[in-house]
Amino acid sequence: MKIVLDEMLPKALAEQLRQRGHDAVAVTERPTWRGLSDRRLIDVARSEERAVVTYNLEDFLRLADELRSRGTPTRGLVLLASRRFPDGSPATFGRLLRSLDALLHDPPAWPGFVHWLR
């Protein structure tokens, strides 16, 4: 499974995931992706067959529902709860890295999945 980390996630996370053999890219690593609307980011992710990893739950869930109803589902959403993964602390970075690594080793098998990361 390939992923894109939404803009609020650090590129260091994508770098660490790549060091573990995963195909991960952060929005902040691609200048043309910075500042894209959520809808446009989903379109770009779909074109690259990437699931989106985000804290932006409401917007991405709404967009995923719209796309699914049109018969054009996302490549997947990985949702992050700020209570489980508070932004900015070193402990959060490590926990997030371990959880994403585990998910990428055993990804959901269905297209358009929505997964709450644990």
How confident is the model at residue 72, as a pLDDT? 87
pLDDT higher than 80, residue 5: yes
90: its two tokens: 């070193």
Q: Structural domains in the chain?
A: 2-116 (3.40.50)
Mean pLDDT of 56-65: 93
Q: How far is it, in rounded angstroms, from Cα 49 to Cα 34?
A: 18
Output the pLDDT for position 93.
92
User: Per-residue confidence at 79, pLDDT binned at 50, 70, 90?
Assistant: very high
Distance CA 77, CA 73 (A): 10
Q: How many CB atoms lie within 10 A of CB 45?
A: 25
Distance CA 60, CA 89 (A): 24
37: DSSP letter: -
SS3 state at 117: coil
